[in-house]
């Protein structure tokens, strides 16, 4: 059961990240180039340290996944990545190997394994994406990568969104961390496409249009508060302002100006 990537893969990943960083600088001048360089440096430093420090956690989760349900440790979700490139997003497997049906899951989805339900609730299934951050395919902060079919529905918006790397956390991840609990269990796909996805697209487009190192740091702090301190944050849909969420979880999200949040 291989958990740590081989040395050649690490070298290839590093090289790909270097090429991506060079491309980022092409066509940029002044403050944009500096901001992009700082963002990439933070991504590499934090993801590299986190992958080393969290390696024991990766091993424990991998063992639990296999013990709970025979099959692979990881699975890859098809997403649209930076500049429209294919992103096979890595996650810890949460479902039974024979699970079929809609890609969207609700909190009570019976396709989850016991460990998978815990991974989904704690968001630990997302940890392998630190590898994508190190390689330059993703960033610590950015729009949440979506599936190709959803991107096609909002093509003009994603022309803007995909100019920046997708992120582990960001506005839409914070706002819809409890997505599984929010989705209508009778029609999760329809509810997502009609109600949640337009809001997420709006938040992600706002982020991509207002790139800022200070904004990224605020999002990281908000992520820490919601994940580790269990203090949910609300995201203002027009300004991106982050505040403590006050209203109860049960209130519907559709009509609210501040979207309830816990990072996804």
Give the pLDDT of residue 24: 54
Alpha-carbon distance of 242 to 15, in angstroms, equals 36
DSSP category for residue 27: T
Spatial CA neighbour of 237 closest among 212, 201, 211: 201
Q: How confident is the model at residue 180 (pLDDT cuts 50, 70, 90)?
A: confident
Instruction: Identify the three-state secondary structure at position 98.
Output: coil
Burial class from Cβ neighbours inside 10 Å (0-12, 13-18, 19+) for residue 236 reads middle
Give the pLDDT of residue 107: 77
Which has the minimum average pLDDT: 97-111, 172-186, 245-259? Answer: 245-259
Residue 154 tokens read as: 């909002």
DSSP category for residue 30: T
pTM of the model: 0.81
Q: Looking at residues 19-39, what average pLDDT do you find?
A: 66
Give the pLDDT of residue 97: 85
Which has the minimum average pLDDT: 95-99, 150-154, 253-257? Answer: 253-257
Give the pLDDT of residue 230: 81
pLDDT in tens, 182-229: 888 888 888 999 999 999 999 999 999 999 999 999 999 999 988 888
Half-sphere exposure of 90 (CA within 13 A, CB side): 16
Give the pLDDT of residue 17: 56
Alpha-carbon distance of 202 to 209, in angstroms, equals 11
Alpha-carbon distance of 167 to 129, in angstroms, equals 9
Edge-first strand order for the sheet with 242-244 is: 242-244, 233-236, 258-259
Give the pLDDT of residue 100: 79
pLDDT in tens, 226-254: 888 888 899 999 999 999 887 655 444 43
Spatial CA neighbour of 120 closest among 99, 141, 139, 134: 99
Q: How confident is the model at residue 23 (pLDDT cuts 50, 70, 90)?
A: low
pLDDT: is 71 or 10 the higher one?
71
Q: Is the pLDDT of residue 35 over 70?
A: yes
pLDDT in tens, 119-178: 988 889 999 999 999 999 999 999 999 999 999 999 999 999 999 999 999 999 999 877
Cβ-contact 147, 108 below 8 angstroms: no
Give the pLDDT of residue 104: 78
DSSP E strands, the chain: 74-80, 86-92, 139-141, 167-169, 233-236, 242-244, 258-259
Give the pLDDT of residue 217: 95
Mean pLDDT of the chain: 84
Give the pLDDT of residue 99: 83
Spatial CA neighbour of 163 closest among 127, 205, 120: 205
End-to-end Cα spacing for the chain: 27
Burial class from Cβ neighbours inside 10 Å (0-12, 13-18, 19+) for residue 25 reads middle
Give the pLDDT of residue 183: 83
Alpha-carbon distance of 207 to 194, in angstroms, equals 21
């Amino acid at each position: 059961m291989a958990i740590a990537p081989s040395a050649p893969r690490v070298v290839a990943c590093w090289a790909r990240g270097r090429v991506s960083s060079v491309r980022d600088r092409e066509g940029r001048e002044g403050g944009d180039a500096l901001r992009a360089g700082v963002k990439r440096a933070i991504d590499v430093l934090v993801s590299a340290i986190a992958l080393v420090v969290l390696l024991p956690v990766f091993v424990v989760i991998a063992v639990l996944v296999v013990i709970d349900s025979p099959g692979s440790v990881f699975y890859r979700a098809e997403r649209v990545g930076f500049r429209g490139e294919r992103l096979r997003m890595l996650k810890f497997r949460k479902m039974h190997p024979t699970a079929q049906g809609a890609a969207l899951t609700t909190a009570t989805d019976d396709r989850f394994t016991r460990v998978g339900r815990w991974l989904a609730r704690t968001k630990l299934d997302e940890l392998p994406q630190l590898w994508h951050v190190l390689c330059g395919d993703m960033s610590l902060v950015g729009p949440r990568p979506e599936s190709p079919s959803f991107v096609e529905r909002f093509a003009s918006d994603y022309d803007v969104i995909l100019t920046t790397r997708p992120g582990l956390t960001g506005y839409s991840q914070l706002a819809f961390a409890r997505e599984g609990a929010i989705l209508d269990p009778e029609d999760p796909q329809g509810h997502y496409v009609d109600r949640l996805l337009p809001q997420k697209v709006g938040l992600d487009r706002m982020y991509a249009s207002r790139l800022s190192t200070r904004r990224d740091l605020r999002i990281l702090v908000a992520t820490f508060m919601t994940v580790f301190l269990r203090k949910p944050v609300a995201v203002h849909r027009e300004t991106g302002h982050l505040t403590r969420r006050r209203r109860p979880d049960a209130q519907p999200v559709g009509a609210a100006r501040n979207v309830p949040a816990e990072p996804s």
